[in-house]
Amino acid sequence: MKLWLLLLPGLGSIVFLMGSALYTIMIQSVGLHTELGASLDYWSDTLSDPILFRSIEYSLRTSVLGSLGAVILAYPIAMWLRKPIPGKTAIIGLLRAPMFVPGLVAAFLLINVISFHGILNESLLALGVIDKPLRITNDKFGWSVVMLQVWKNTPFALILLSSSINSIRSDVLDASADLGASAWANFSQVVFPLTIPALQAALILIFIGALGDFAFASIAGSRNVYSLSVLMHYTATAYYEWEKAAVIGLVIMVLSGLSAILITLMTRPFANRTRPVISASFLERSHEK
């Protein structure tokens, strides 16, 4: 009884809001609230619409590349930061700066740089690399959105991975280096497997955030395809088709859930692969200490 009272304010508020939103989505996606009554037409209509699949493809593409890009960039920086470097605090501060720049400002900064007569095109023209400015804003593939996701999320990935890498005892790394492991082997056999939990957390959080992205896609995204969130927003507020918007919402949620599971399953095997460079028993012993 007392436990309930303790859990109610925090857990209760979450369950209440998430639950009521979920309830509304479910009800609306089958049209239960309309006078016509329940029907699966909204599902079949929406799921047979090729636009939805283009949006799914686009959203998946940008979020896979965005989240992978962020962690791939974060690993070497995190390794580099292990070393003593003059002015480390300032460097860390600079690296974290993008986290405090609102995403929309980031989108604006990027568009400004890559616009038709923006500084990028002007510099390339001046250098003679191109003879006509490139039209790269709102590109069809979504590279701008990928860039923005990487820019904005690298600090987040860096913080998660750094704290995980820093918690690896340096004698483990020194020992493996003494045993003659190359820097790459050291990373792939020792560091990488030990940071899998942090990697999973970073990938899942960044990926799901990117999959539901509205702001980047609507400002810097392709003009030939909407991201899932943009599509859902227009479907609800411009076409007034709340039922179909609910279906799209559920599709996003299912995709998020599936990708979280997939990321976990795909990265798990790496966590146990420690054999070749230094013996597994050595690592286990040092890990237990």
- Residue 120 or 282: the one with the smaller Cβ distance to another protein is 120
> Could you give the CA distance from residue 229 to residue 94 in angstroms, rounded to a whole number?
31
Q: 105 CB contacts (<8 Å, ≥6 apart)?
A: none
Stretch that binds another protein, among 38-46, 118-126, 170-178, 266-274 (CB under 8 A): 118-126
Nearest to 241 by CA among 53, 62, 52, 58: 52
* 249 is a contact residue toward another protein (CB under 8 A): yes
Segment 5-64, which members bind another protein (CB under 8 A)?
A: 5-11, 13-15, 17-18, 20-22, 24-25, 28, 49-51, 54
Judged by beta carbon, residue 55 or residue 278, the one nearer another protein is 55
**254 lines the binding site for another protein (CB under 8 A):** no
- 8 Å CB contact between 199 and 156: no
Which DSSP string do the residues of 175-192 spell out, in sequence order?
HHHHTT--HHHIIIIIIH
Q: Does 265 bind another protein (CB under 8 A)?
A: no
Q: In this chain, which stretch among 64-72, 159-167, 180-188, 261-269 interacts with another protein, using CB under 8 A?
A: 159-167
Interacting span for another protein (CB under 8 A) from 173-181, 185-193, 219-227, 263-271: 219-227
Answer yes or no: are the C-beta atoms of 106 and 152 closer than 8 Å.
Answer: yes
Rounded (10°) angle between helices 242-271 and 50-82: 40
Structure tokens at 211: 């999959």
Determine, following the binding rule CB under 8 A, whether residue 100 of this chain makes contact with another protein: yes
- The reply to whether 148 sits near another protein by the rule CB under 8 A is no
Note whether 245 binds another protein by CB under 8 A: yes
Stretch that binds another protein, among 88-96, 176-184, 186-194, 271-279 (CB under 8 A): 88-96
> Are 228 and 251 contacting, i.e. CB atoms less than 8 angstroms apart?
yes
168 binds another protein (CB under 8 A): no
Q: Is 124 in the site for another protein (CB under 8 A)?
A: no
Nearer to another protein, 49 or 277 (CB): 49
Instruction: Choose, by CB under 8 A, the member of 32, 44, 239, 276 that binds another protein.
Output: 239
67 binds another protein (CB under 8 A): no
Selected binder of another protein within 39, 112, 170, 272 (CB under 8 A): 112
The CA–CA distances, whole Å, from 173 to 82, 143, 158, 170, 189 equal: 11, 37, 20, 5, 10
- The residue within the footprint of another protein, chosen from 32, 41, 122, 178 (CB under 8 A), is 122
DSSP structure string for 86-149? TTHHHHHHHHHHHHHS-HHHHHHHHHHHHSTTSHHHHHHHHHTS-SS----TT-SS-HHHHHHH
Determine if 269 is a binding residue for another protein (CB under 8 A).
no
Determine the straight-line distance between the first and last CA of the chain, rounded to whole angstroms: 41
Q: How far apart are CA 166 and CA 207, in angstroms?
A: 24
> Which 172-201 positions form the footprint of another protein (CB under 8 A)?
198, 201
Token pair for 142: 């979504």
- Choice from 70, 71, 107, 199 touching another protein (CB under 8 A): 107
| Span near another protein by CB under 8 A; candidates 92-100, 184-192, 268-276, 277-285 | 92-100
